[in-house]
Structure 1
């Protein structure tokens, strides 16, 4: 939860910030509406708390003009009823009286989090999975959540946290696949000043950030075996060692982990420690792929159509019967994430009063964009065989075909390593190693995109 506080709040900003931070929020502050808008444009936010003395109407109108969908909560002196009324009429979702009440702020943060991380479903298979998740949520047992990429593993982890006894404490997520190996140890366990070059001050790691709450280790199967050994000790001893530290630090953390791989196979191959697997695997939740829960496809499609219509300032248009049929028949290799992207495109491309088949661009379909390179190459080869022509793959070595496929996929997804690895069905580490090999051979490699580009500079 990223919380932005705008205004002075009559000196109550410190108290409000502390309460929000204790509830797991990352808090930033801006003195004016203009400075707040700059913060939102530059770093984003999940919730804005604004002093009623600020121009709330101007803030909300600016957000609407720029098509930024963001809940705004007004704050002010409890006795100023007229200011509260003006704030609500200006578009604020809630009004919090000052001085701040911890339970009220916690409730507002929880409501916003619930809305952002809600799980939309109708299919009995997903209902059964969530029922089991709720049953085990109250315990402190470690839970392993498995499933293909895009099935909603992190959403289920957040669901478990909300239903647990630790719901009022922090939920901290770490993507083990997205952080380079040499940084992940410090990210998890923290470090002391001078522990290594660049360690100019002590840093608290994710385990200490999540103390008393829940830590999600996303894509844990990508973690280096050396770190797995250290993690196993943490689970056994309930204490961590900061990098460069001399004394262990006690932690009380509930561990959730996710993986899109077959963990038993990773254990057999030696890339994942067997003892750590059994330590984490007290309970396993296996999320079904989207194609295995077809009743969820239309309700998710309507949900995403509504979300992206609102966020882009467009009218809400229903899906036609033909569009629904197209979505239901599709294989959804990228699962819910692929469906979400598809509906985002459809909202932007739709003409008229409905979203029809012409706005539905499916991966692997003739009009899809960006085309899935895996499907495209397979289709081209099949067409060549049918027509009697020689396949374009003939004459190339296996290594050359693999290289072309990896680079084509990476180009199709604008340099996004994570998406490309998911589509190719390989780990992000394997993809990075291949790209390094190609670069060393003098082959041009697409640069990382977005957040990945920022991480690449670390």
Structure 2
């Protein structure tokens, strides 16, 4: 966890930084917003910013947004009244932290932002084999390709590799290739010089330089434009990058980890992914099995999430009874661990008493979860005729629109998850959603925004 403190270190903010460091955070400090932006542009990255409530928070949030820097902002202040705290939240702060600092509160905020990315929870033998291989290759600097369905925990595995590597004390930087528009991804990766394009108001170091000495995760690399793949290949081969608008190459020393929910060999055959880049990336491939093939992990993860969300909601620990566990193990979990986590979080909030029963295991729309293949088959038989009748007379485009929007709603707005379920690329999904939005259709907001962090 890298914490950037914006404001004077005198008094209570200094005490807060000491508490954060005692909890394992790496803390840096600047006096004002201009210095903070200069630090971030220079590649001195941060996972969270803690800013004095008396500084212009709205200006900071606006500047971060204009330069596409995703950084959760936490306001803090001494003896601050409720109005100042509320104004800080309205200005874009994700949370307000009162000072003098409470060690446990600071620890909770740090944990919420880090989202336990370094913690692997597993017990199933199939997953143990994958983790064993990961531990074997972690100390090397070899590139690794992590393959698996959406929601299986590819980013968590990448973080696990980094923390068990010889680069663990260096930065771990993640770039979601599916979440950044094509025309901006090159700048995000390699940085840019001032004036290189409209909106480039200052030189900015890219993720390659920010990760120098450490690990760079290219999440969902299959969504990267094939022309940019050529520049990525050169950067990996020569360990040199060119900033957009730059005049001389910049040397970098990083380990590359890439993830994909698609079979990249098939993408090569479809000519949407470079074969030479695939060879560079998959020195070692880790394939994470879907949750439905890890029955032991369904049990272990369910109990882990029940404990986690009981604590985070200030509740006594909710136990899972046999009827609930039977329903959990019967579910196909097409959204894998992410879907299971959401289901358990919902069950913790909905259960009556201290025990989660089968009645609390519900789908996002409030309906019961599938209870096995027999139940699914019966459901298809009962509803098949009605569903077919409902489609007759409708235009294909309208049916497609309803399917896409309903799937997106089911996935809480997660574009990558929805695209995976629909069997289309994230780019195709975005194009469809833009058309719907332009026609005035209400499109579900992108998933990933929470109290502490916003990730598209």
State the TM-score bracket (shorter-chain normalisation): 0.7 to 0.9
* Structure 1 residue 434, shift from structure 2 partner: 1.7
Q: Deviations over 1:281-312 (max 9, x none)?
A: 11100000001110011110111011111111
Which residue number in structure 2 is paired with residue 28 of structure 1? 50
* Structure 1 residue 410, shift from structure 2 partner: 3.0
Secondary structure at the counterpart of residue 131 of structure 1: helix
Name whichever of 399-408 and 306-315 sits farther off. Answer: 399-408
In 1, the alpha carbon distance for the partners of 2:117 and 2:276 equals: 36
* Structure 1 residue 167, shift from structure 2 partner: 0.4
Q: 1:20 touches 1:27 (CA, 8 Å); kept in 2?
A: no
Q: Deviations over 1:217-265 (max 9, x none)?
A: 0000000011101000001110101001111110001000000011111
Which residue number in structure 2 is paired with residue 383 of structure 1? 382
Which residue number in structure 1 is paired with residue 404 of structure 2? 406
Which residue number in structure 2 is paired with residue 340 of structure 1? 341
Which of the pair has more CA radius of gyration? 1
* Structure 1 residue 404, shift from structure 2 partner: 2.1
Which residue number in structure 2 is paired with residue 448 of structure 1? 445
Are positions 1:306 and 2:307 aligned together?
Answer: yes
* Structure 1 residue 419, shift from structure 2 partner: 4.0
1:102-181 map, 5 Å: 116-181=117-182
Which residue number in structure 2 is paired with residue 236 of structure 1? 237
1:70 to 106, 109, 120: 109
* Structure 1 residue 396, shift from structure 2 partner: 3.6
In 1, the alpha carbon distance for the partners of 2:134 and 2:409 equals: 38
In 2, the alpha carbon distance for the partners of 1:257 and 1:341 equals: 25
Q: 1:421 touches 1:427 (CA, 8 Å); kept in 2?
A: yes
In 2, the alpha carbon distance for the partners of 1:332 and 1:392 equals: 27
Q: 2:404 touches 2:422 (CA, 8 Å); kept in 1?
A: yes
- The number of aligned residues is 397
In 2, the alpha carbon distance for the partners of 1:328 and 1:169 equals: 39
1:191-230 map, 5 Å: 191-230=192-231
* Structure 1 residue 366, shift from structure 2 partner: 4.1
Q: Which runs of 5+ in 2 are unaligned?
A: 29-43, 53-75, 371-375
Q: Deviations over 1:169-207 (max 9, x none)?
A: 000000000111111111111000000111110011000
In 1, the alpha carbon distance for the partners of 2:226 and 2:79 equals: 48
Secondary structure at the counterpart of residue 284 of structure 1: strand
Supply the RMSD in Å over aligned alpha carbons.
Answer: 3.7
Q: Deviations over 1:427-450 (max 9, x none)?
A: 22110112234455x362415346
**Relative contact order higher in (CA < 8 Å, ≥ 6 apart):** 2
